[in-house]
Amino acid sequence: MQRSATFPYWSALAVSLILAGPATAAQLSAQSLEQGWQFHIAPKSAEAKTHPEAAEWRAAAVPGSVQTDLLAAGVITDPFYRDNEARLQWIGLADWDYRLAFKVDPATLKRGHVELVFDGLDTFADVTLNGRKLVSADNMFRRWRVPVKGMLRSGENKLEVHLHSPIARLQPWLLKQPYALPGEFDSAFGDEPKGKQTANYIRKANYQYGWDWGPRYVTLGIWQPVRLESWDEVRLSDFHIAQQHVDADLAQLQAETSVQADQPGKARLTVSWSDPDGSHQQASQEVELRKGDNALSLPIRIEHPRRWWPTGYGAQDMYRFEVTLSRDGDTLATASRATGLRSVELRRDKDQWGRGFAFVVNGVPVFAKGANLIPFDSFPNRVTPERMAQILRSAHDANMNMLRMWGGGHYQSDAFYEEADKLGLMIWQDFMFGGAIPPYDEAYRENTRIEAVEQVRRLRDHPSIVLWCGNNEVQTGWEAWPDRKALRQSLAPEEVARIENGMKTLFGETLRSVVRENAPDVPYWASSPSTDYEGAANQLTDGDYHSWSVWSGSKPIEQYLGETPRFQSEYGLQSFPVMATVRAFAEERDLEPNSPVMRAHQKFANGDGNDRLLLYIRKYYGEPKDFESFVYLSQVMQAEGIELAAEHLRSVRPQAMGSLYWQLNDVWPGASWSSVDYFGRWKALQFHARRFYAPVRVVAIHNDGHSDVFVVSDRTAPFQATLRSRVMSMDGKVLRERKQALKVEPLASTKVASPTDAELLRKADPAASFAVYELLDDKGAVLSRHLLFVKPPIELKLPDPDLKAELRDNGQGGVLVLSARHLAREVWVDFGTLDATPDDNAFSLLPGETRELRVVSEAGIDALRGALRVRSLAGATKGDAK
């Protein structure tokens, strides 16, 4: 069985407890219960009669889900192919049974404690062991630990898990209620009445009920590992390095452990650590254990610590800590942690623009450059560590330094955060609330509080996590969305107050307290977007901001220039993935923007999102000449539109201190706001992001008859450079050239020019000429290039660029040599269905320019030559739109 990236939530501590140090009779040991499971549809389930093919007991994968088990067994076909989604909704409406027969060795039965541990059950699950009920789970994000010593027997034991359809379980109850709390997206398949969504009322990944970028697959299963844990005297359940104060001179830390002991008595607590250069130190003290739960701590001082920095600001140095609890020289328990030492502040100073919103790491204000991250798959167990790491490396390679882990999915594995630690990617971590209005009852709130404590304690040693946020769009939705306004008007004021107070208590108090008590070195933010419940949400002058007038509101892309928030945590434009990805889910007959299959893989506005795409493509570029041109132009439109917004945000630093576009990745293949598609292939936006998020960038923004030119630097020290500006014709004639010596200020955006169109172009034809701004270092090398057009693409007189492409084999792989006689805008290199990655794409070639690109592929050079296609904006639309 392929190990899932979600294995397990608690792996960093658990593995060290099991494997670290010489085993003694007292130490914890574990028996995996992941092999040998079987599953079938529950006989009493309503769907059992109509789906007899699911009645047979079949092998199941744990961790896993019913849908992926059915797929592996050949009972269903690919859930992502064509319009299969509609035919597979019955799975989430049925109940399912899982069973496992296992044996326990005599040594385990003799231990003082034996506990059954489920790291995650999805979601309503009744668990029995040898016919005795153990637990009724009701939260996908919690661990379930149950003492079972008295229930185990010598020989064979039987473990059973009955999974309830969350829809079938909750819908009858919801229909009896006087009203339904507003949710997110109504089901397109009729299994829930419109406006009567059950997802609000369950602690389960919201996106699995369908989103405007992903399918509706309501999963059920044992989605995290299962094991027996046994121990005698002591169980060390948690080990944490609290960072009380960290600066360049001193790190004041506290090693904190949670210990469960059978008997009182003295013991020795020893903490040793190794710094990044390999040197070792340790501290130790006598402790007095009492029977039951113990919280033990040991102060640690590290002089001149080597601190963890976000990528681009310094090294990602990590320290390794190990704790040992011993008595009379015998080890009782041991665990280890790796963490990076750093300070994090969310700075909200008042200034001339309102109130700031800036992340300050180790005293350095960091402009956050990145994107929003959604789950990696509709079925979490399919996500391999390699695939997850590829997406994170794609973010890093595109010069991103922050990802927002959006609240409608699920908390990621330790492996995810370990990779983010290594790459220097800051993580904005939402709690798992995707926008729906939550219930206000105390039982729901307490269930969430326990979830939050477990997740914060699991993840708090990862230096990459720089913010815990209560939710995504709950507050702004309640204040501004039409269905929420309608509900408020229909309810008595007392009930409205209960709903509002419930949200404020959960997000403003409960979750804030969990973070303050368990991870006080990391800031908490009540909602995104918000002003942290200090006023209305989604304000340009305070807090973070979600910008959706472009795309959702159909406003022109230039609208981005009219909004300057303090931190833009969401904004986006859609596109289709590359043709190789489209062909993975569609047949040739499906290749039309509004074919049934294309609409099925376009979740915005119930499939009408492709008309929205065409609206923007037609406005800025013209009518696509064919389907492949539609796909290509969708990516160009997305890339150039998001570039305008991102560069505007960077140019106004420090008024704005963050740009996180929506979204980095996909859960399935289809149209979405992503810049990296489901298979990890970069869209045009991802290549553009690598340029517009570069540490040093020349930015030229045209608006209303003039252009503002900025030099933006994330470097922490000033440097000398030269700004070269040229005005050129499309065929390459240099009409004007100017050089300007600059001192580039650190951590700043500096305006260096502001010409009107007449001053810039003089008498040149604005539809047949353009400006090139280049920032040169002291040796004349180009640090950044920006092409500026004063007319929209649809009005440009783009000539045939006369593109030439030659693919050579240099003995170490393919080298693609590209040249253009005339200006070639948005050059796109494609190899059809062959997986081949050029080291750059979606770029412009100046007239007469030649570029060499390295091409990485497992395909042979002859196959690559046969599949190679190079295109540009010229010729992508019907007729002479120029």
Band of the pLDDT at 27, cuts 50, 70, 90?
confident
- Mean of the pLDDT values across residues 464-482? 98
Residue 187 has pLDDT above 70, yes or no: yes
20 half-sphere exposure, CB direction, 13 A CA radius: 19
Average pLDDT over residues 439-460: 98
pLDDT of residue 1: 34
Q: What pLDDT shows up at residue 9?
A: 52
Q: Is the pLDDT of residue 298 over 90?
A: yes
Q: What is the CATH number of the domain that holds 390?
A: 3.20.20.80
CB 305 within 8 A of CB 323: no
> Would you say residue 122 lies in a domain?
yes
How remote is the C-alpha of 109 from its chain's centroid?
A: 43
Report if residue 829 sits inside a domain: yes
Helix (H, G, I), strand (E, B) or coil at 631: helix
Residue 731 belongs to a domain? yes
Say if residues 710 and 665 touch (Cβ distance below 8 Å): no
More confident residue, 244 or 880: 244
SS3 state at 762? coil
pLDDT band at 400 (very low <50, low <70, confident <90, very high): very high
Over residues 114-129, the pLDDT tens digits come to 999 999 999 999 999 9
549-566 average pLDDT score: 98
Q: Per-residue pLDDT for 881 more than 70?
A: no
Note the pTM of the prediction, 2 decimals.
0.96
How many structural domains is the chain composed of? 5
pLDDT of 14 > 50? The answer is no
Determine the structural domain holding residue 848 and report its residue range.
804-871
Distance CA 844, CA 146 (A): 61
Q: Convert the pLDDT of each residue in 657-670 to its tens digit.
A: 999 999 999 999 99
Instruction: Report the alpha-carbon distance of residue 557 to residue 678 in Å, rounded.
Output: 26
Rounded Cα distance, 630 and 422, in Å: 38
Q: Are residues 427 and 546 in the same domain?
A: yes
Helix, strand or coil for residue 652? coil
> Where among 731, 764, 794 does a domain terminate?
794
Are 400 and 270 found together in one domain? no
What mean pLDDT do residues 76-96 have?
98
Q: Is 311 part of any domain?
A: yes
Provide the pLDDT for residue 25. Answer: 40
CA–CA–CA angle 135, 141, 143 (5° rounding)? 45
Checking if the pLDDT of 4 tops 80, the result is: no
pLDDT of residue 812: 78
Residue 5 has pLDDT above 60, yes or no: no
Give tens-digit pLDDT for 776-805: 999 999 999 999 999 999 999 999 999 999
pLDDT in tens, 583-630: 999 999 999 999 999 999 999 999 999 999 999 999 999 999 999 999
Taking 70 as the threshold, does the pLDDT of residue 194 lie above it?
yes
**CATH number for 751:** 2.60.40.10
pLDDT at position 285 over 70: yes
Q: Do 327 and 457 belong together in one domain?
A: no
152 and 21 assigned to the same domain? yes
Give the per-residue pLDDT at 13.
53
State whether 424 and 300 are in the same domain.
no
- Of the residues 771, 794, 817, the one at which a domain ends: 794
Same domain, 217 and 246: no
> Count of residues for the chain?
882
- Let me know whether 276 and 423 are in one domain: no
Place of tokens 């079987």: 38
Of 197, 227, 257, the last residue of a domain is 227
Q: Quick check: 363 pLDDT over 90? A: yes
In a domain, 3, yes or no: no
Looking at the fold, whether 86 and 183 belong to one and the same domain comes out as yes
